[in-house]
Chains A and B, each alone.
Chain A
């Protein structure tokens, strides 16, 4: 029956990841492309993503790679959202786990619409801070002539 094909409905997933800070900034994009190939090779179709940037972690994390133990206080954080068949997700999870450069990752179901981005949050923060800064020089200027 054609119904069997209908049952293979794709789901929207989000892969959030932390990349070890010991990797130089110019090589981070290589790790991201490797993660993207894991997604696309599993039949994933990218919907949205945000490139990683360096962020201070809320607590120290550690990861053992071979004989080395990395204890880190910061990491590059990024995410990508894609559409994929649910059957492909467990194997994708294993593949991401095998990437040495990835400190931690989170593969979850997500809504299709992207309401939040780090970039947008940063801008909102700047906008919230900017009016205050704009007001203080003005108020400073008004005080000067009176004085």
Chain B
């Protein structure tokens, strides 16, 4: 059986930009968005993840960079 992603397991269809706990799972220590190889989520999810992370950054929920 193929391994299910966190999003599939929790039935998250829509990645909300306010859901910081979920978004942080897919960030690198420098607060960059993980690539698909590392995140292991579907292409559609990866696209909506990128949008959600960028929205969260704009609203001050996530930082743009961690040095």
Contacts and interface: CB of A to CB of B under 8 A. Distances in A.
Nearest to A74: B60
Interface string A60-100: 01000000000000010101000000000000000000000
Contacts, number: 44
B59 A77 contact: yes
Q: Looking at chain A, what size class is its interface with the partner chain?
A: 20 to 34
Interface stretch (A3-11, A32-40, A41-49, A104-112): A104-112
A118 interface: yes
Determine the interface band of chain B, counting residues with CB < 8 A from chain A: 10 to 19
Chain A contact residues: helix, strand, loop or mixed: strand
B19 A121 contact: yes
A3 to B, nearest CB: 30
Nearest to B20: A121
Interface of A: 16, 18, 55, 57-59, 61, 75, 77, 79, 104, 106, 108, 110-111, 115-116, 118, 121, 125
